[in-house]
Structure formats: C-alpha cells, structure tokens
Amino acid sequence: MNEQHPDDSTGMHGDADGFRAGFVAIVGRPNVGKSTLLNRLIGQKISIVSSKAQTTRHRVTGILTEAEAQFVFVDTPGFQTHHRNALNRSMNRTVSQVLADVDLVFFVIEAGRFSDDDRKVLGVIPESSKVILVINKIDQLKDKARLLPYIDELRQLRDFTEIVPLSAEKGRNIDSLIKAATPLLPVGRPMFEEDAVTDRSERFLASEFLREKLFRLLGDELPYGIAVEIEKFEVEGNLRRIFAAVIVDKPGHKSMVIGHGGEKLKRISSEARVELEKLFDGKVYLEVWVKVKSGWADDERALKSLGYE
Ligand SMILES: Nc1nc2c(ncn2[C@@H]2O[C@H](COP(=O)(O)OP(=O)(O)OP(=O)(O)O)[C@@H](O)[C@H]2O)c(=O)[nH]1
C-alpha cells in the first residue's frame, strides 16, 4: 500500500510533519538593503543591488527552502516620497497590494537611524500583519553599546513580533532571522520545487541584469525614468538571442546612454552579456539599442506596457 498522501507526488514534505510555507514581503525605504538581504537569504543573485536608491521597481520573488520551512520572498519597490508621478503611484500601490497578501513582513531599517521615510513605510503595514523588525547594517555601527537603547526606542513604535539586528552584506545573524521567522509561517506544503530560487522568467532576469549594468555604469549620469524592455527573447539549443531596448524619457538622454563613439552602451551590453551567460550557463547574443519615449514615466498606459502594475 502506498503510504503517501495522494497529492504528495513530488515527494516533498507533507502537512503531517509540521512543515511550514508562506509568503514574506521585505519592505523598507530605499537603500536600507532589501535587495542585499534577499540575495543573502536565497544565496544567489536574483534581485539587483546598487548603491543608488530605487533600483527595484518590479516585484521579485525569491524562494528559500529549508528543512522545516519554505519562504517565498516578495521584494517590494522602495517607497517614493519625493517625486509624485504615475510611476511612483504605481510603486506605492504595489506595496499595499503585496502587504495585504503575505503571511509575514520583514520591515528593514538601518542601524542607528529612524527617519520620517521609515515611519511612512511602517505606517503602510497593516495592523494585522505579523512584522519582524530587521535592523540591517549593524557592521556600520561605531558604538555597539547604542544598539540596545535604540532597540528599546523602536519597541515603542509597534508591537513587533520579533526584532533581529543583522548585516545583510557581511552575512551576520542571517540564521537568527530565519529561525525567528520559521514558526511565524503557516503550516503547509511547499509551494515551489525545492531547488527553485525564483519564479521569474529568464526574460525578466535578462532585463534586471541589463538594468543593473545601466545603474552601475551610468552612475550619476543616470537619467531619471530609464527602463529596459526585452523586445525579443529566442532560445536555440544552448544559445539565447536577446533583443533589448533601453527606454529614456528625453532625446538628450539617449546620447548619455550611448556614450562617446558608442563606448558606454558597448560596455553595458558586454558586461550584461557575460553575467547572463553565467546565469543561463550557455551562450548569449545580446543586442541593445536606445529608444526615446517622451514622458513615459508619467503615462500609466506606457507603464503597463513595460510590465509595471
Ligand atoms: N555596510 C553595509 N551596507 C549594506 C548592508 N546591506 C546593504 N548595504 C548597502 O546598502 C546599499 C543599498 O542596498 P540595496 O540592497 O540596493 O537596498 P534596497 O533597500 O534594496 O534599495 P532600493 O532598491 O533602492 O529600495 C548598497 O550599497 C548595499 O551594498 C549591510 O549590511 N552593511
């Protein structure tokens, strides 16, 4: 007689052994280290990390499967407090939608600081949510003795289920976060295969990797409202042919991206191609050009066509 539950065809953990699985949203103001934390948790580069604020516009899902639990992470965009246009409205909406729909929230802040922007993000987390306060960047704290009084002050803000100080970048105390979070997930079967790290398509990952290169290599010259659109993605055996457009808001921005004699764009696409070949473990042909779509950041329809919700 087969003892397995009829649905347990994958051989993964069933309900009976107390396995837990749930959705976790990582929220916090721009630049607190949400992407770095996600990457550290899932141990692989999926989301993009950059020293510039607001680099994560899409929802990125990372999956961590441990012996006792499966965490399905939903990384949310940074909060917009300065620019008020359609792009920012769309991002804030995404945050609220995500929070209404998850089992647990990691509210990330920077050690030693608590700004008005942090307060605004906290204000959007529903009262009913279970929240772990993640105090990131503890490696930057010069005076470690300040951590305890700081934590005591934060306790006044809300009844956090847990408070975990850590360093996402240095990989310190990440285990404590996983340990604290595990019992807070609902009992249930894994939602994804154990070796899955993301449910995003290769097409999406290609656009994220290209966007990261744009952020890194344009630096301070990065035009506001830049976006990447994958126009064609073909797979032929071990070769992927990717045709991508970089969308800019103003004609003047086009030459900034292309650079003198095309040098900048050449470097951006060649660095992106090298990383994509590693990610896909195969050959990549990447063609990138720049398109001007005036006012796209203010046009909700254009946003939808680029995949923003
Ligand atoms: N010293 C230190 N720096 C960190 C740590 N975690 C992240 N950082 C840095 O903080 C900066 C922002 O990190 P991100 O992970 O891009 O931050 P984010 O919250 O995802 O930012 P947005 O995408 O803008 O919302 C980067 O330069 C990281 O290297 C940490 O534990 N210690």
| Alpha carbon 183 to chain centroid, angstroms | 23
Q: What is the pLDDT of residue 44?
A: 56
The answer, yes or no, to whether any atom of ligand 1 lies below 6 A from the CB of 190, is no
- Judged against a pLDDT cut of 70, whether residue 152 lies above it is answered with yes
- Judged against a pLDDT cut of 70, whether residue 41 lies above it is answered with yes
Secondary-structure class of domain 202-305 per CATH: alpha beta
The answer, yes or no, to whether any atom of ligand 1 lies below 6 A from the CB of 34, is yes
**What are the residue boundaries of the structural domains of the chain, listed by start?**
15-184, 202-305
Q: What is the pLDDT of residue 251?
A: 86
At 58, the pLDDT band (50, 70, 90 cuts) reads very low
Q: What is the pLDDT of residue 296?
A: 66
Which of the residue ranges 15-29, 37-51, 105-119, 291-305 has the most confident prediction, judged by mean pLDDT?
Answer: 105-119
The answer, yes or no, to whether any atom of ligand 1 lies below 6 A from the CB of 55, is yes
Does this model's pTM top 0.95? My answer is: no
Q: Do domains 15-184 and 202-305 have the same CATH topology?
A: no
Cβ-proximal residues to 68 (8 Å cutoff; 6+ apart), any chain: 18, 19, 20, 182
Distance 53 CA to ligand 1 centre (A): 9
Contact 108, 137 (CB under 8 A): no
Distance 26 CA to ligand 1 centre (A): 13
Q: Which ligand 1 atom is nearest residue 54's CA?
A: 24
Complex ipTM above 0.90? Answer: yes
Q: What is the pLDDT of residue 249?
A: 84
The answer, yes or no, to whether any atom of ligand 1 lies below 6 A from the CB of 39, is no
At 287, the pLDDT band (50, 70, 90 cuts) reads very high
62: β partners: 73, 198
pLDDT in tens, 107-136: 999 999 999 889 888 888 888 889 999 999
| Separation CA 130–CA 164 (nearest Å) | 14
- Which residues participate in the annotated binding site for GTP? 28-35, 75-79, 136-139
The answer, yes or no, to whether any atom of ligand 1 lies below 6 A from the CB of 139, is yes
Lowest mean pLDDT segment, chosen from 29-38, 86-95, 185-194, 196-205? 86-95
Secondary-structure class of domain 15-184 per CATH: alpha beta
Average pLDDT score over residue span 64-69: 88
| Separation CA 182–CA 186 (nearest Å) | 9
